Chains A and B, each alone.
Chain A
Amino acid sequence: MAIELKMPALSPTMEEGTLAKWLVKEGDSVKSGDILAEIETDKATMEFEAVDEGVISSITVPEGTDGVKVGTVIALIAGDGEAAAPPPPPPPAAAPVAAAPAEAPAAAVAAPVAVVAKADPAVPEGTAMISLTLREALRDAMAEEMRRDDRVFVMGEEVAEYQGAYKVTQGLLAEFGARRVIDTPITEYGFAGIGTGAAMGGLRPVIEFMTFNFAMQAIDHIINSAAKTNYMSGGQMRCPIVFRGPNGAAARVGAQHSQNYAPWYASVPGLIVISPYDAADAKGLLKAAIRCEDPVVFLENELLYGRTFDIPDLDDHVLPIGKARVMREGTDVTVVSYSIGVGMSLEAAEKLAGEGISVEVIDLRTIRPLDKATILASLAKTNRLVIAEEGWPVCSVGSEVIAICMEDGFDDLDAPVIRVTNEDVPMPYAANLEKAALVNADKIAAGVRKVLGR
């Protein structure tokens, strides 16, 4: 019986990749540990090793094939006592194979859905758009600001030679050199403090945390040193720094690597907290954050890094901090969200449109200061509101939005505001449990039906 070699998942979030190169050919004998092929993910080129011994009887996906889904059979190995030839009939190249549950990437729950967002009023009408991944948009934002201002530098774990743990800083070392793109030891508390001190001394640091889960080791400097200094010094000492990195759940990485810190940082006076959804906002807001005189916590999402969005083709795309964006207009109910939740909300709105329900979707974009006016204006129009958040429900951004609706929008409410969030548990590892713990479009749609009494 031939052994099937399948396109491997080479990162927790990989769904497909490019079969860049075969290092073996049909008829070659291979043994465990031999390198069979090079596979490109959106983050890196990885080597694919043999696990079984035998003879390559058939290569079913030729090198250079893009978009090979994880789980696709890419080659066959003839087992012991089996003739290497003739090979069995090859399946069609790059045809996706129904992945077994054990191999299904959990990222599938966050699969992109083709939903067209409303144009951003901050972008001039008629602006040409280009297609870019969110990862590239973030990199471009940093590169543009580094070209503009020599005080801007990037520091963090693996940001330079490795090109970023998630390849967000790809190419920066080559362009700006080791003076401005600085690899640190694994010492979050220390380098967050060094960045903060450098900002106090007049530089413009961009501090990357490999994930915000690790920033808990450094949260003292973010809050006690960066956020409070301007106030404690009576306005004398500023701290213009950006702390950035992925936040929230990734895919199957367990409880310690899956947490949304937006509510934590958003509770702190003296901080700006930004959590964009699409690439245009990520770029425009990161540029604004780097120019900002105040300390900024910039919360990205790993599952969005590889997603492609339209982005305005402007020389200097800078967006205002503190302004939410109406992503889709509607009349029956408002769904407020941010970060990856916005995509799920747009997906839910699309589904609900088919049921005759008109949903307005608001992307908060900045979590602190929160754009109350946009939330309340939408509530005044729809009179019903749901907040969708990829995070825990207790003391969440959703809790704050509910408080705003109660305090300033009570007369506009026709129904209680509903939070649709992750479950109130540490993130489980098992695929089915993780899926059950996370918010998704169906849960948001159910919340919308509930506030409408349907």
Chain B
Amino acid sequence: MAKTPAKKSAPKKASVSEDLSRANRERPAEPVPYKATKEELLKFYRDMLLIRRFEEKAGQLYGLGLIGGFCHLYIGQEAVAIGLQSALTPGKDSVITGYRDHGHMLAYGIDPNIIMAELTGRAAGISRGKGGSMHMFSTEHKFYGGHGIVGAQVSLGAGLAFGHKYSGDGGVCLAYFGDGAANQGQVYESFNMAELWKLPIIFVIENNQYAMGTSVNRASSEDQLYRRGESFRIPGIQVDGMDVLAVRGAAEVALDWVRGGNGPVLLEMKTYRYRGHSMSDPAKYRSRDEVQSVRDNSDPIEGCKAYLAEMGVGEDELKALEKEIRTIVNESADFAESSPEPELNELYTDVLVEQY
């Protein structure tokens, strides 16, 4: 029997469970929803909508055979990347994630054309067509990928955080991983060293409820994943990952904690992916009703729209925004389809940096 249907288990506001808040050690403050200005909220809305429409278009291009291999869409999880990354200091803080990485790239404002061109394997792609959907990087933005081995980004992220501390550059690393990766051994090796050495890192579990086709409660003996760092003394906070203001509010608290030299913090983002694990997943492990129910009741973009309505933003303004986004996404698809494939000699470039 399923323990907790996705929708009901998503808390209405960020909260630390009572037993842990009573723990006899210092903890980060209880997060409160972020108080966004109208401009900020409009930007959150626009950025989430860009991810949504971009991913829908990517799904379409996959169906047309223009995108190959594995393609993992971020639809449904938009509030996590936008809420968290909007709180970072550009050029200082670093980000690393797994293979479901398109949304995190777009959250940086990286040109959608070169992201879509990477998905179609073209020379103009951000990895020159040699990485694909799962392997995109932007060192300029301190975005370090784009990793295909489940959980690897957690150790690598701890390494980036080690670098921040070693260099004394004041940066914080945001390392995303899923509920599936949360069961990998190296995650706990990294938790241990990150806390031992007080590394400036925010571990973010994007708990979208399913590790490929296995639900959290079929794979995790402790399914309240925010508790997973507690035995390493890493405080954990469970957050409604479908609410961009709740996410941003948690980001503020987490950044304060980490920047204060307290070592790592773990954020569990309760979220949901509407699509299958990858494009080739028929998603038979859950009911259509379950997905529809989340869409109807917890959609992050609809939720943000409701906040905007409260602030007096009219339908017309949002429609104009929607139109603008569709144009950007359509242009990226045209660009990705029409730009040339890599030259054949690119096969042999970038294997090594130096000549021997």
Report the bound CA distance from A153 to B155 in whole Å. Answer: 17
Q: Are B155 and A200 in contact (CB under 8 A)?
A: no
Contacts of B212 in A (CB 8 A): none
Q: Are A197 and B193 in contact (CB under 8 A)?
A: no
Q: Does B148 contact A (CB under 8 A)?
A: yes
Q: Does A5 contact B (CB under 8 A)?
A: no
Known: A179-B166, A187-B192, A224-B152. Contact between A193 and B352, CB under 8 A? no
Known: A193-B152, A200-B144. Contact between A230 and B352, CB under 8 A? yes
Q: Are B156 and A193 in contact (CB under 8 A)?
A: yes
Q: Are A194 and B139 in contact (CB under 8 A)?
A: no
In the complex, per-residue mask of A245-276: 1 if CB is within 8 Å of any chain B CB, else 0: 00000000000000000000000011010000
Residue with the highest number of chain A CB atoms closer than 10 Å, among B125, B161, B351: B351
Q: Are B152 and A202 in contact (CB under 8 A)?
A: no
Report the bound CA distance from A279 to B137 in whole Å. Answer: 40
Q: Are B131 and A232 in contact (CB under 8 A)?
A: yes
Contacts of B94 in A (CB 8 A): 201
Known: A190-B192, A233-B145. Contact between A293 and B353, CB under 8 A? yes
Q: Does B185 contact A (CB under 8 A)?
A: yes
Q: Does B126 contact A (CB under 8 A)?
A: yes
Report the bound CA distance from A233 to B125 in whole Å. Answer: 10
In the complex, per-residue mask of A203-234: 1 if CB is within 8 Å of any chain B CB, else 0: 10000000000000000110011000111111
The listed residue (B130, B146, B167, B186) touching A193 by CB distance below 8 A is: B186
Contacts of B163 in A (CB 8 A): 197-198, 201-203
The listed residue (B138, B159, B196) touching A185 by CB distance below 8 A is: B196
Interchain nearest-CB distance for A278 vs B (Å): 21
Contacts of A221 in B (CB 8 A): 152, 155-156
* Interface window among A106-114, A235-243, A407-415: A235-243
Q: Are A233 and B155 in contact (CB under 8 A)?
A: no
Q: Does B82 contact A (CB under 8 A)?
A: no
Chain B interface main SS type: mixed
Residues of B87-110 contacting chain A, CB below 8 A: 94, 96
A-B contact pairs, 10 of them (CB 8 A): A179-B166, A187-B186, A197-B156, A201-B144, A203-B163, A230-B352, A232-B127, A233-B127, A237-B139, A366-B356
Interchain nearest-CB distance for B4 vs A (Å): 31
Residues of B69-91 contacting chain A, CB below 8 A: none
Q: Does B128 contact A (CB under 8 A)?
A: yes
Q: Number of contact residues on A: which range applies? A: 35 or more
Interchain nearest-CB distance for A188 vs B (Å): 8
Residue of A nearest to B355 (CB): A322
Q: Does B149 contact A (CB under 8 A)?
A: yes
Contacts of A191 in B (CB 8 A): 155, 189, 193
Contacts of A269 in B (CB 8 A): 351
Residue with the highest number of chain B CB atoms closer than 10 Å, among A201, A236, A293: A201
Interchain nearest-CB distance for B158 vs A (Å): 5
Q: Does B317 contact A (CB under 8 A)?
A: no
Report the bound CA distance from A184 to B155 in whole Å. Answer: 13
Known: A196-B156, A230-B352, A293-B354. Contact between A236 and B137, CB under 8 A? yes
Contacts of B310 in A (CB 8 A): none
Q: Does A192 contact B (CB under 8 A)?
A: yes
Q: Does A292 contact B (CB under 8 A)?
A: yes
Contacts of B144 in A (CB 8 A): 197, 200-201, 237
Contacts of B196 in A (CB 8 A): 185
Q: Does B190 contact A (CB under 8 A)?
A: yes
Q: Does B24 contact A (CB under 8 A)?
A: no
Q: Are A232 and B135 in contact (CB under 8 A)?
A: yes
Residue of A nearest to B159 (CB): A197
Contacts of B352 in A (CB 8 A): 230, 270, 272, 294
Interchain nearest-CB distance for A183 vs B (Å): 10
Residue of A nearest to B125 (CB): A234
Q: Are A220 and B130 in contact (CB under 8 A)?
A: no
Q: Are A190 and B190 in contact (CB under 8 A)?
A: yes
Interchain nearest-CB distance for A272 vs B (Å): 7
Contacts of B138 in A (CB 8 A): 236
